[in-house]
């Protein structure tokens, strides 16, 4: 084939590699979330590892570059062929290594998770960062007029297309492995064309392509067998827009897992009794109950009260269907099943209840924290009838209350006390909160007996766990000056982070120190234009993490919307780069103007979060991501021109942008949002951009 055909094949590789890279990133991020219980920290660390390795790959791409165009083409095709299969291999490695390195059902500490993510994610992302500068080198060897803006623009178009395909097609109708197979097929075809145009012998070409295709197909074939190793016999597996649902049977007991954490099990009848009978015992004549989350065992206990209305809110219809199929919930339960987010339902309904039973997992993610904030407690209080009660529970203790545990319980008590006149805290392995406007009677066994409610655990064993002495000891351990937990200043997340580190006797200080020293070393070697790109990368990706977190707070789920948000933060880069490429005379003014625009956009986001109501439209987040990425896109061609415009300048600029993009999620996910709240995080990003304005003015 002619050099012209070879150049078009190289451009096709860049485009299809961009498509695959975004799909692979989204699939792998979601996979790691399910492996490590949906913690937002996992998103931040995964993006950090992904982008840091990508930046390193971009810097390595200029080393050992072959002089001949033909050898460059063959090398690029070989890298593209490796990229085709690496996401499938990465996903299988994550599933297999998670089961081998960590005991099933156990949590992991910060450093093991960090090491695991870097080990599994870095090879593919390193290659993805390496490929684009190599493609630019090939195109310049074939066509000296080829520009960095065009090559990086093609990569961005592929990224945006991959995000859109994932958000609007793949997430609805594929499993992770079939999504990777669908995204890898176009890259495999482009690599085949480039290999053929590079005069690779057929005896080499055919086995290479067949082997790559076999790996892609094998991934889909072993999907169900590898989805969750080590939890018992798999009964059901389903990917939904809200997350991953699996049901396993072990020793005759079935358990429903949601995103890797146990959600409903047949092994806790005592817990189901306590969750239902503690709150309903304190209400004289309950007739209407709302259950948010919970299990079929809880619904069975509610039937003992002969209630007029039981509303059961579960956002995912598939979760109910799988519980019924696995025998975890009776098919004929006399409840109104409402498939809606719990907070959104309460905000929209006019119904009022005698009891609201909140049965969700620990508030260790922003998605769950939103059920333990002042906003939710006030919403619940407004939907209770006179004499009604809100009940919820968190992980408790046996005898000794650790300081971090006391801090968590203090924050919960103080937050609930902002909305309820009386908050009773019942000690035990699960600490129950009973919140009312009226006093909370604690003679629960006597009340259950008077109502004629038979129980096996809640009545007979109540005083064994909850006696006046233990209640007094717990009250003495609680801090009356504890802060209030809010949606955008999540005090509980801060405490849960501290509890997580304390559990494994570790601290993030060493990691923070190492990354700070590394960042300082890199920043000292950067020119003014590269520093501007570093800060832009940090702000764009930091804002992406912030929007993901804010979306979870407002809407309650991110599994389905993750692709749409990522796409929005990519979609403006290409238009911005094209606009800047047509205005070469603007030079450094583009850097200054784009920095100023980013500062104004961040200020607007803060205002939107502060002043918007509970029904804040999600389209605003998409528009913010599009506008912010447009401003960042304007800066890349201008920065490359400021550094001379050569291949080395483009690679340095790309590496600086990716290094900043790696730092952004880490700062947001591990430091700024847990410890400064969302508004503190926005303020610090604005300060970062103000610092780059001075550097931008030094660029001609």
> How much is the average pLDDT of 389-404?
90
pLDDT at 209: 87
Arithmetic mean of pLDDT over the chain: 86
Average pLDDT over residues 364-390: 94
Of 209, 228, 247, which residue constitutes the final position of a domain?
228
Q: Is residue 241 in some structural domain?
A: no
Q: What pLDDT, on the 0 to 100 scale, is given for residue 559?
A: 59
CA-based Rg of the chain, rounded to a whole angstrom?
Answer: 27
Among the ranges given (354-368, 425-439, 629-643), the one the predictor scored with the smallest mean pLDDT: 629-643
CA-to-CA dists, residue 380 to 174, 338, 389, 424, angstroms: 37, 17, 9, 16
Confidence band, pLDDT 50/70/90 cuts, at residue 598 = very high
Mean pLDDT confidence for 441-459? 89
- pLDDT 10s digits, 499-558: 888 778 787 778 878 888 888 887 887 778 888 889 999 999 999 988 988 887 887 766
Q: Are residues 416 and 277 in the same domain?
A: yes
| DSSP assigned state of 370 | G
Specify the pLDDT at position 110: 84
Please give the pLDDT value at position 38: 63
Q: 548-565 pLDDT, tens per residue?
A: 888 878 877 665 677 788
| Alpha-carbon dihedral 486, 487, 491, 495, rounded to 10 degrees | 140
Q: Are residues 594 and 640 in the same domain?
A: yes
Structural domains counted in the chain: 3
Query: At a CB cut-off of 8 Å and minimum separation 6, what does 202 contact?
Result: none
**CA angle 212-214-220, nearest 5°?**
115
Mean pLDDT comparison of 12-21, 56-65, 362-371, 395-404, highest-scoring range: 12-21
Q: Among 41-50, 180-189, 373-382, whose mean pLDDT is lowest?
A: 41-50
**What does the DSSP assignment read for 20-65?**
HHHHHHHHHHHHHHHHTTT-HHHHHHHHHHHHHHHHHHHHHTTTT-
- Same domain? For 221 and 295 the reply is no
Distances (CA, A) of 146 to 66, 75, 189, 424, 643: 18, 19, 23, 71, 17
Other C-beta atoms lying within 10 Å of the C-beta of residue 150: 18
Beta bridge partners of 384: 353
Residue 445, both tokens: 């066994």
Question: pLDDT digits over 35-89, tens only?
Answer: 887 667 788 889 889 988 887 887 787 676 665 655 677 888 888 999 999 999 9
| More reliable by pLDDT, 139 or 407 | 407
How sure is the predictor about 477, in pLDDT bands with cuts at 50, 70 and 90? very high
Predicted TM-score (pTM) of this structure = 0.86
Same domain, 187 and 272: no
324-352: b (≥16 Cβ within 10 Å) or e: eebebbeeebebeebeebbbbbbbeeeee
Residue 82's contacts (CB-CB under 8 Å, 6 or more residues apart) are: 127
pLDDT tens digits, one per residue of 569-589? 988 988 888 888 777 666 668
Q: Tell me what percent of the residues of the chain surpass a pLDDT of 90.
A: 38
Clarify whether residues 220 and 270 are in a common domain: no
Assess if residue 143 is contained within a domain: yes
- Examine the domain organization and report whether 578 and 673 are in the same domain: yes
Domain containing residue 119: CATH number: 1.20.1250
Does residue 409 carry a pLDDT above 90?
yes
What are 273-286's pLDDT values in tens digits?
999 999 999 999 99
Residue at token pair 């923070």: 512
Intra-chain end-to-end CA distance of the chain, in Å: 42
Q: Is residue 353 part of a domain?
A: yes
Distance CA 80, CA 14 (A): 9
Are 268 and 198 members of one domain? Answer: no
Provide the pLDDT for residue 529.
81
Q: Is residue 239 domain-resident? A: no
Q: The domain spanning residue 521 has which CATH number? A: 1.20.1250.20
Residues sharing a CB contact under 8 Å with residue 399, sequence separation 6 or more, in sequence order = none
Does one domain contain both 181 and 319?
no
Q: Is 498 a domain residue?
A: no
Conformation bin of residue 150: beta by default, left when phi > 0, alpha when psi is -120 to 50: alpha
Domain co-membership, 267 together with 205: no
Q: How far apart are CA 348 and CA 357, in angstroms?
A: 18
Round to whole Å and give the CA distance between 516 and 129.
Answer: 23
Q: What is the mean pLDDT of residues 369-392?
A: 96
DSSP state string for 263-279: EEESS-HHHHHHHHHHH
Q: Does some domain include residue 234?
A: no
Asked if 277 and 214 sit in the same domain, the reply is no
Is 242 inside any structural domain?
no
Q: Does 459 score more than 90 pLDDT? A: no
Q: Is-contact 189 197, C-beta < 8 A?
A: no
Asked if 295 contacts 329 with a C-beta cutoff of 8 angstroms, the reply is: yes
**DSSP summary character for residue 288:** E
3-state SS class at 258? strand
Alpha helices in 231-365 (DSSP H): 269-281, 296-302, 317-325, 342-348
The pLDDT score that the predictor gives to residue 384 is: 98
Residues 199 and 305 reside in one and the same domain: no
Mean pLDDT value of segment 311-319: 93
CATH of the domain at 425: 3.40.50.150
Q: Measured at the alpha carbon of residue 96, what is the angle toward residues 91 and 98, in degrees to the nearest 5?
A: 95
What CA–CA distance (Å, rounded) separates 232 from 229? Answer: 8
CB atoms within 10 A of CB 270: 16
Of 83, 50, 312, 98, nearest to 194 by C-alpha is 83
- For residues 28 and 23, give the distance between their C-alpha atoms in angstroms, rounded to a whole number: 8
Closest C-alpha among 369, 576, 376 to residue 490: 369
Domain that holds residue 443: 262-467
Q: Are residues 301 and 372 in the same domain?
A: yes
| CB 219, CB 181: distance < 8 Å | yes
**pLDDT at residue number 586:** 65
Domain boundary among 183, 211, 228: 228
Residue 308 has a CB neighbour count (10 Å cut-off) of: 10
Question: In this prediction, what percent of the chain has a pLDDT beyond 70?
Answer: 93
In a domain, 266, yes or no: yes
Chain segment 620-661, per-residue pLDDT in tens: 888 999 999 999 988 888 787 776 666 677 777 777 888 888
């Amino acid at each position: 084939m002619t050099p012209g055909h070879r150049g078009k094949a190289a451009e096709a590789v860049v485009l299809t590699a961009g498509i695959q890279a975004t799909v692979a990133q989204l699939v792998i991020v979601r996979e790691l979330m399910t492996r490590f219980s949906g913690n937002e920290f996992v998103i931040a660390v995964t993006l950090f590892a992904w982008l840091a390795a990508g930046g390193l790959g971009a810097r390595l791409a200029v080393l050992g570059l072959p002089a001949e165009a033909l050898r460059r083409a063959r090398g690029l095709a070989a890298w593209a062929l490796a990229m085709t299969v690496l996401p499938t291999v990465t996903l299988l490695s994550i599933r297999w290594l998670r089961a081998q390195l960590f005991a099933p059902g156990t949590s992991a500490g910060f450093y093991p998770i960090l090491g695991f993510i870097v080990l599994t994610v870095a090879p593919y992302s390193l290659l993805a960062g390496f490929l684009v500068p190599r493609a630019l080198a090939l195109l310049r060897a074939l066509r000296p007029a080829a520009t960095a803006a065009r090559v990086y623009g093609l990569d961005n178009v592929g990224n945006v297309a991959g995000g859109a395909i994932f958000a609007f097609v793949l997430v609805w109708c594929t499993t992770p492995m079939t999504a990777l197979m669908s995204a890898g097929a176009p890259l495999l075809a482009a690599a085949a064309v480039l290999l053929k145009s590079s005069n690779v012998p057929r005896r080499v070409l055919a086995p290479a392509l067949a082997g790559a295709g076999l790996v892609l197909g094998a991934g889909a074939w072993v999907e169900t067998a590898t989805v969750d190793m080590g939890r018992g016999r798999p009964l059901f597996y389903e990917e939904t827009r809200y997350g991953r649902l699996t049901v396993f049977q072990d020793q005759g007991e079935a358990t429903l897992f949601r995103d890797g954490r146990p959600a409903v099990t047949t092994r806790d009848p005592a817990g189901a009794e306590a969750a239902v009978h503690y709150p309903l015992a304190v209400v004289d004549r309950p007739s209407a109950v709302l259950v948010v989350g919970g299990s079929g065992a809880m619904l069975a206990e509610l039937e003992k009260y002969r209630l007029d209305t039981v509303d059961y809110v579960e956002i995912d219809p598939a979760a109910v269907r799988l519980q019924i199929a696995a025998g975890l919930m009776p098919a004929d339960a006399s409840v109104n099943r409402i498939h809606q987010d719990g907070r959104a339902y309460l905000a929209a309904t006019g119904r009022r209840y005698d009891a609201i039973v909140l049965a969700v997992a620990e508030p260790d993610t922003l998605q769950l924290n939103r059920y333990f904030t002042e906003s939710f407690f006030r919403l619940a209080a407004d939907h209770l009838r006179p004499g009604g009660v809100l009940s919820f529970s968190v992980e408790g203790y046996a005898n000794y209350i650790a300081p971090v545990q006391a801090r968590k319980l203090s924050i919960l008590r103080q937050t609930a006390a902002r909305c309820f006149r009386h908050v009773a805290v019942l000690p035990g392995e699960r600490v129950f909160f009973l919140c009312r406007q009226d006093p909370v009677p604690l003679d629960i066994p006597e009340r259950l007996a008077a109502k004629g409610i038979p129980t096996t655990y809640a009545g007979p064993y109540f005083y064994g766990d909850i006696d006046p002495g233990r209640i007094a000891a717990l009250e003495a351990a609680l801090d009356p000056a504890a802060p209030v937990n809010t949606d955008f200043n999540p005090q509980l997340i801060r405490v849960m982070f501290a509890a997580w580190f304390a559990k494994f006797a570790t601290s993030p200080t060493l990691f923070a120190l190492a990354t700070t020293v590394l960042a300082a070393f890199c920043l000292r070697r950067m020119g003014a234009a590269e520093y501007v790109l570093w800060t832009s990368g940090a702000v764009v990706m930091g804002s992406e993490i912030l929007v993901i977190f804010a979306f979870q707070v407002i809407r309650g789920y991110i599994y389905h919307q993750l692709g749409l948000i990522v796409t929005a933060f990519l979609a403006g880069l290409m238009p911005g780069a094209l606009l800047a490429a047509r205005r070469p005379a603007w030079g450094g003014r583009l850097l200054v103007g784009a920095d100023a625009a980013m500062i104004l956009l961040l200020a607007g986001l803060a205002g939107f979060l502060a002043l918007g109501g509970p029904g804040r439209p999600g389209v605003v987040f998409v528009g913010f991501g599009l506008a912010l990425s447009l401003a960042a896109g304007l800066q890349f061609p201008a920065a490359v021109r400021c550094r001379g415009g050569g291949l080395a300048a483009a690679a340095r600029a790309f590496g600086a942008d990716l290094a900043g993009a790696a730092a952004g999620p880490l700062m947001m996910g591990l430091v700024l949002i847990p410890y400064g709240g969302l508004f503190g995080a926005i303020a610090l990003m604005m300060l970062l951009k103000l610092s780059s304005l001075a550097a931008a003015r030094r660029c001609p």
